[in-house]
Amino acid sequence: MSSPNQEPDFSPPPACRSSSTARVAITLAIIIFVLGGFVACHCPGIFVVVALCAIVAFWAGSRRQRIVAAILLVISIAVAIAEFRAESEQEQRRRDRARRASQANQILEQSNA
């Protein structure tokens, strides 16, 4: 146990547990990443979960697992940013369509009056 004056210990766990933890985290990250590509919406949150799994794998893994985790982390962050941009653009197009429909309705009402 650490005393209240000591800094928390963020060092990786013992090697016997860390390898399996990293393996599970990498497996989950890959599965979620692949399934996230099949989702029909722009959902950046899915790829943020992948990034979190990759961080856990990077923290707990061996050298080879850290390399895989780092690659997954970079790719998932890039895809999450792209998905966020696509989601924002889609929302802007929705607002533009609603505004145009509203303007068209106003013009029709004015012409009928």
* C-alpha–C-alpha distance, residues 110 and 99, integer Å: 17
The percentage of residues in the chain with a pLDDT greater than 90, rounded to a whole number, is 38
pTM given for the model: 0.69
User: If you average pLDDT over every residue of the chain, what do you get?
Assistant: 84
Q: What CA–CA distances, in Å, run from 106 to 34, 99, 111?
A: 46, 11, 9
Tell me the C-alpha distance between 68 and 84, whole Å: 24
User: CA angle, corner 62, sides to 46 and 25, nearest 5?
Assistant: 25
**Both tokens assigned to 7:** 């800094």
Tell whether the model's pLDDT for residue 90 goes beyond 60.
Answer: yes
**What pLDDT, in 10s, does the model give residues 7-38?**
776 665 555 456 888 999 999 999 988 888 78
Fill in the DSSP letter of residue 6: S
Average pLDDT over residues 55-81: 92
- Nearest alpha-carbon partner for 30 in 16, 44, 46: 46
* Element containing residue 92 per DSSP (H, E): helix 63-112
> pLDDT per residue over 38-57, tens digit each?
876 777 888 899 999 999 99
Residue 103 has a CB neighbour count (10 Å cut-off) of: 10
